[in-house]
Chains A and B, each alone.
Chain A
Amino acid sequence: MNARSSTTEKVAPTVSIQTPSPASDNFRSVLRDRRTIIGSVITGVVLLIAIFGPLFAPHAVDAYVGSPFAGPSASTPLGVDVLGQDVLSRVLNGGRTIVWMSLVASALGVIGGVLLGMIAGFVRGFVGEIIMRGCEIWMALPMIIFILIIIALFGRAPWLLVLLVALGHVPQVTRVIYGAVLDVSQREYVESAVASGSRVFETARTHILPSLVPVVMVEFGLRVVWSVGMLAGLALLGLGVAPPAADWGLMINENRGGLSAQPLAILIPLALITLFAVGVNLITEGVGRSLGLAEGTTK
């Protein structure tokens, strides 16, 4: 049950369902966790910038406002980028793409993984074996290599990027869900229901799915973190979102040459990407810990 996940192909600790302690009977304890609170504030700020930023942008994203790599001035508080465009306006406009793409990619990946993991966990036998072996094979290819090849062949339409990143999530989520389903379905209360004539769907609904909810929540969080890293990384390679659109990852790519002359053009988008990922990870960690899912909870 070694579940792999997190940022750039990183691996997450084993997620196992433990009998919740009295304090974690309900989800209220999640909201009291310090990590969740700090993470929510950070994520909230980044989301606000990404969603409402465009309303406050002083210039058009592709307007020429000054000489390339010019420092901050009254009309360009964060300076000017490599193409003479206003950094602040591009920062305020550049968050939407990564936010929606990472959220959608994670959601699709989690949905796919949950479906496959549940099929493997409930049907087991040959079908389950094929699914799980397939995931193992799928994970042997570094995901970035796969994505790059497909981009090279089919271009970089945003929906394709989203789909590819989602595909990268599927095997990891599948493994986690499969492990969780197996774990829960061997519990005696599940067997008791089965012995009392409970049908598969009934058992799943009353006993197994509710225990999966926290696992899925944590998985989704980890997937968002991973998606952000992957999507921003692709943009940084110049292979993600296409110019002239404003995008935080793309801004890093465009302004790479000016790191010493105009560091703000890189550091600001870099900071926002990082804050988004760290914020979501803190929430995830908080949720996982307070629902008793994190590793090493032995005191």
Chain B
Amino acid sequence: MTTIEASSATMEKTVRVSGLTVQLRDGRVIVDDVSFEIAPGEILGMVGQSGSGKTTTALSLFGFTKPGAQVSQGRVLVGKTDVEALDAAGKRALRGRTVSYVPQDPRASLDPAMRIDDQIEEVLDNAEYPLRAEERRAAVEAALADVGLPNDREFLRRYPHQLSGGQLQRVGIAMALVGRPPVIVLDEPTTGLDVATQSKILALVRRICTSHNIAALYITHDLAVVADIADRVVVLHHGRIVESGTVEKVYREPQHSYTKLLLSAAPDLVGTPLTDEVSPIAVDSTEPNARLDVKALVAGYRRTQVLHGVDFTIDPGECVAVVGESGSGKSTLSRAVIGLHPRYTGTVSWRDRVLPKGASARRSHSVNEMQYIFQSPYNALNPRLTVGQSLTSARKLAFRHEPSAQRREAIESAVRRVELEPHLLRLRPNRLSGGERQRIAIARALVAEPRLLICDEVTSSLDVLIQASIIELLHRLREQDGLSLLFVTHDLALVRSFADRVLVLNQGRIVEQGPTAEVLANPRDPYTRDLLRYTLSIAEALDARYGPVSEAG
């Protein structure tokens, strides 16, 4: 791709955005003086965390602003068209034909009540470009063939719910291609897809942009995706571009401190791990039997069996990661262990005693010692209670008869251990950020003075910087208190930095388990190997595209 980059200065840019500023009605600036250009055949990666203004910037190419927002300054040129100067009809003619959109979640972005061919063909419903019926058919079929989907009648007449996630995203891309636009905007199109499908979609996007000479704007929060696919990258922070340049330059020689921070926080399969090298944590000699032992666990819902006989143990002080993709049964596993999914056979033992299946039947001692932390910090706290009330009721569950001074002391200490200020106790959750909420959720687990924390995807809804800080926090808690951790995640790269052992779960079975470093270095199971192969790595992508780092840079 370096050839495009070399010649781009002389080629006419397809997209030119200069000085774009978007303001809300109350005057708040959400996009601040953003400028960038995209040449034909080039993919520009736009990286930013949630709220950085990346989607707002992308939508400006369509002359589309969210209600309450407006472009207050700047110019958006797509081809020779000044988007801001267009009237409503002009903007409609632009959309789908000159610039098209690939949505983040195709399942929500496709009309559930319309067949997919009609939805693709609809893009051609443009008065400016009248087409005959057979031309439209041909265009739809060509677009589907382009994205590697069947284009027979049976397939064309399907409804969105009859397609898999990967197929749906291909339909989304076909919809963007059918009008043969010179510009495509892709808004996190692989979020929610499993890694193998993600890798295929990325390859598809790459191929199409090259073969059709399309200028693409690829928005994402995932640095690894950009390293894999983009030619150039802009880093957006609080609506401003803090750094831009070729992927090689920005990733290998980041100038801005924010970019450096992002790069250091991104979990990666190779390179320096997030936290210090995993140091085996000394087992507290007074707690030699605080061991979790799961044997022959079989669980499911009414008709479908989700887990097919799972065995593993967690030793005192150990951190065990369970890695699996959606549908692997990892959530059912963690819920069965904690007693929220009592419909299972097999045994869950704690301190060598078999636990009853439902949480309500378990003795308060074992219940206190095992605590569960949920995926989304937004639903994990009762919105009607203050943080202090939530923590108090959790502490009361663990220690029913306790002087209130002692209780208050325990709660404040838990809040300090998650590195928050005790004054937050007076607030309700809606006043806290996502990261703060997740810390409070951890504090709520800590007030029970647990020995084992079960963390179910606890970072997957958080931005990468917050994710890194939560991981560090969990790591520190292990070091200080010798807590054991059952860490459930879909992200293999995340595991590498701090799990002692890893279990790979595929379709309800543990296909591989062992020390983390060993499993990652020498995967034995084909599924693990695929998982490793398709998991994106910044370092690997950069090496593959630009060669290993040399002194010349």
Contact = CB atoms under 8 A, between A and B. Distances in A.
A195 B338 contact: yes
A196 B431 CA distance: 25
Interface stretch (B42-50, B212-220, B373-381): B373-381
B397 A198 contact: yes
A197 to B, nearest CB: 4
A195 B394 CA distance: 10
B383 interface: yes
A77 to B, nearest CB: 51
A195 B390 CA distance: 14
Interface stretch (A29-37, A185-193, A216-224): A185-193
B326 interface: no
Nearest to B394: A196
B465 interface: no
B339 A19 contact: no
Given A187-B379, A197-B362, A192 B339 contact: no
A19 B431 CA distance: 13
B359 interface: yes
A21 B367 CA distance: 33
A196 B384 contact: no
B383 A192 contact: no
B372 interface: yes
Contacts of A21: 430
Interface in A201-230: 202, 206-207, 210-211
A5 to B, nearest CB: 24
Contact of A189 (B368, B381, B397): B381
Contact of A19 (B383, B393, B448): B383
B430 A19 contact: yes
B395 to A, nearest CB: 10
A211 B382 CA distance: 10
Interface centre among A21, A192, A196, A207, by most chain B C-beta atoms within 10 angstroms, is A196
Contacts of B372: 191-192, 195-196
B368 A197 contact: yes
Nearest to A208: B382
A53 B380 CA distance: 53
Contact of B397 (A25, A191, A196, A210): A196
Interface string B441-477: 1001000100000000000000000000000000000
Interface string B328-369: 000000000011100000000000000000011010100110
Contact of A195 (B367, B428, B441): B367
B57 interface: no
Contacts of B448: 196
Contacts of B383: 19-20
Contact of B340 (A22, A189, A191, A202): A191
A196 B450 CA distance: 10
Interface in A49-81: none
Contacts of B511: none
Nearest to A186: B379
A229 B25 CA distance: 45
A200 interface: yes
B248 to A, nearest CB: 43
A298 to B, nearest CB: 12
Nearest to B373: A192
A199 interface: yes
A22 B371 CA distance: 29
Contacts of A22: 428, 430-431
Interface in A231-273: none
A45 interface: no
A118 B163 CA distance: 39
B339 A195 contact: yes
B242 interface: no
Interface string B419-450: 00000000010110000000001001000100
Nearest to A21: B430
A195 B362 CA distance: 9
B382 A189 contact: yes
A244 B362 CA distance: 66
A199 B394 CA distance: 12
Nearest to B68: A299
B380 A192 contact: yes
A150 interface: no
A196 B398 contact: yes
Interface in B212-239: none
Contact of A207 (B338, B382, B430): B382
Given A190-B382, A207-B382, 19 more contacts: A19-B430, A20-B430, A22-B430, A188-B376, A188-B380, A192-B380, A192-B441, A193-B393, A194-B339, A195-B367, A195-B371, A196-B397, A196-B398, A196-B448, A197-B359, A197-B368, A197-B398, A198-B397, A211-B384
13 contacts: A20-B383, A20-B384, A22-B428, A190-B382, A191-B374, A192-B374, A193-B397, A194-B359, A195-B340, A195-B359, A196-B398, A197-B364, A197-B368
Interface of A: 19-22, 25, 187-200, 202, 206-207, 210-211
The 10 A-B residue pairs with the shortest CB-CB distance, nearest first, are: A197-B367, A188-B379, A189-B382, A188-B374, A188-B380, A195-B372, A196-B397, A195-B338, A19-B383, A195-B359
Interface of B: 338-340, 359-360, 362, 364, 367-368, 371-372, 374, 376, 379-385, 390, 393-394, 397-398, 428, 430-431, 441, 444, 448
